[in-house]
Structure formats: structure tokens, C-alpha cells
A and B are shown apart, each in its own frame.
Chain A
Amino acid sequence: MTASLDHAFAALADPTRRDIVARLATADATVGELAEPYEMSVQAISKHLRVLERAGLVSKTRDAQRRSVHLEADVFDLMTKWIERYRKEAEARYQRLDAVLAAMNQPAHQPTREEHAS
């Protein structure tokens, strides 16, 4: 079908890019603004942004003189929903396993006289 989701996961594997996404969740920002907190050149940040853009996670917008970067929140939400849903199913499975393990921890069942007498 498409490699979009892989690109999105790959894009978010990098801590700087995760940080950029977290900051864009609050508000759009220019490349210069995004570069400020890092010990990194604008070029290096631009490279990170190209990866995020190719993954469909951010887009560039132009309003008046300002060229800013915008987070495509829908794509991000869909991805995290998929993972979270899968995680919840795994957690439900492991809670059933908790119950099975707890039952194993109970002292062994002692047959009663009635059961012996069958």
C-alpha cells in the first residue's frame, strides 16, 4: 500500500525531531525559531525538517513575510492511536496472564473427602 507509516515512525526515532514535533504541537514556528535552542546550524535543522516533511508530519506554510513550519496533527494522532490501541490490547492480554499467574501462586488444591469418595 504505502510506506507512509514507516516514514513517520522513522522520522520520530530521532530525539531532535521528536522535540521539534513536541514544540510545533504548541504553535507554528519558523526554521530560525526552531533552530535557536539547539547547538545546531539552521541547515542541520532544515535537514531534520525535510525528514519530518517527507513523512507527512509537518508542512511549510507561508503567510505574509513569515514562512513557518506547521505540525500535521492528524497524521501524528492517527499513528499514535494505532500504537496505543495495539498497546492496550497487549496490556489487556497481560492482565489476563496476571490472573492466570496469580492462580498458579495459590497453594495446590487439596482434594476433599467428597472428591476422594467418587
Chain B
Amino acid sequence: MSTMTETTITADPTVPMIRMSRDFRATPAQLLRAHTDPELYARWVGPDRTVTQIIVWDARSGGEWRYVSTLDGQEFGFRGCFHTVGGDHIVQTFTFEGMADDVALETLRFEDLGDGRTRLHATSLCDSFEARDGWLASGMETGVNEGYAKLQALVDGDDV
């Protein structure tokens, strides 16, 4: 079995957007189902070691969604709206309840590559560069603020 291309990612320099793409051995219909069936979605959204509980899930244009991820006893809530659920694309909003006023607009497009493969094109448009870069840095152990502080120090030429 040939190796599938790994996820590619770009942080757009002119708008606060993250773009990703990834190929899957599945049809667009299967990818749509994996994104809209709550039982399936909860199985892969992750991250690893988290348990995802779907609270509200109305996967149709104009519907809403909410889930809670539990990691080491801590709960993180996420919510948003399914703006459009089409045959080969989903447009939705995404909010981390810990920063409830920050809303990202996400577009998922499923491009049929033929031979049973589909390319997922995902964009996430944040409402500020700070929010976007916060998401990019969110995986770091140091946390966003420490990361920014360190970056600022580096840019300022201080010793870190």
C-alpha cells in the first residue's frame, strides 16, 4: 500500500488564516459522513488521550454543535454552527468556550481525486492574527503567552 501524503499546512501571511490539506483513502461522501455523524466524529477529533462527548449535534445548514473534550480530568468545551452542510463541503464556525468571543470560520472541501481517494482542503479564518498565532502555538508545552514572551525577547535581541 502506497504511503499517503502527510498533512500540509500554511499560515497565510496576509489574512489570519490557516490552510491545511490531506489525502484520504475514501470517497467524498465517506469524508462528509465522518465529519457529520456525531458518533464517528467523536472517535477521531481527539487529541489523543482525550475523551470527546458530543452534547449538541445538528449537522444541517443552520444547525449547531457543541462538544466537550476531557483531558486529565479537565474539561474543554467547543461550540459553533454548521453554516452550510453540502455534498462536498462544510462551512462552519468554531469557538473554544475558554475564549468565547473568538470565532473562527472554517471551510472543509472534499475534492474527489478518483480511484477512491479524496483530498480534504481545510481553511480556518480567525478574527485576528493574535488568535490565529495563538492556535498555531497552542500545542506548545510553554503555552501561548510564554511563547510570545520568548519570541518577543528573541526579536528584541535579549538573551533568553
Contact = CB atoms under 8 A, between A and B. Distances in A.
Given A93-B46, A101-B24, A101-B26, 18 more contacts: A4-B151, A5-B129, A5-B133, A6-B129, A9-B13, A56-B154, A56-B155, A74-B154, A78-B150, A81-B140, A83-B11, A86-B139, A93-B47, A98-B25, A99-B44, A101-B31, A101-B34, A104-B40
Nearest to B156: A56
A96 to B, nearest CB: 4
B47 A91 contact: no
A74 B159 CA distance: 11
A86 B6 contact: no
A98 B155 contact: no
A86 B135 contact: yes
B47 A75 contact: no
A1 interface: yes
Contacts of B74: none
Interface residues of A, number: 41
B47 A104 contact: no
A6 B150 CA distance: 15
B45 interface: yes
Contacts of A65: none
A83 B12 CA distance: 12
B136 to A, nearest CB: 5
Interface of B: 4, 6-9, 11-14, 16, 18, 20, 22, 24-26, 30-31, 33-34, 40, 43-48, 120, 129-130, 133, 135-140, 145, 147-148, 150-152, 154-157, 160
Contacts of A78: 147, 150-151, 154
Contact of A102 (B25, B129, B145): B25
B148 A87 contact: no
A68 interface: no
A74 B160 contact: yes
A75 B155 contact: yes
Interface of A: 1-6, 9-13, 55-56, 59, 72, 74-75, 78-79, 81-83, 85-94, 96-102, 104-105
Contact of A82 (B7, B46, B47, B140): B140
B105 to A, nearest CB: 18
A72 B12 CA distance: 22
A79 B10 CA distance: 12
Nearest to A96: B44
Contact of B13 (A2, A13, A86): A13
Contacts of A72: 154
B30 A1 contact: no
Nearest to A13: B13
Contacts of B154: 56, 72, 74-75, 78
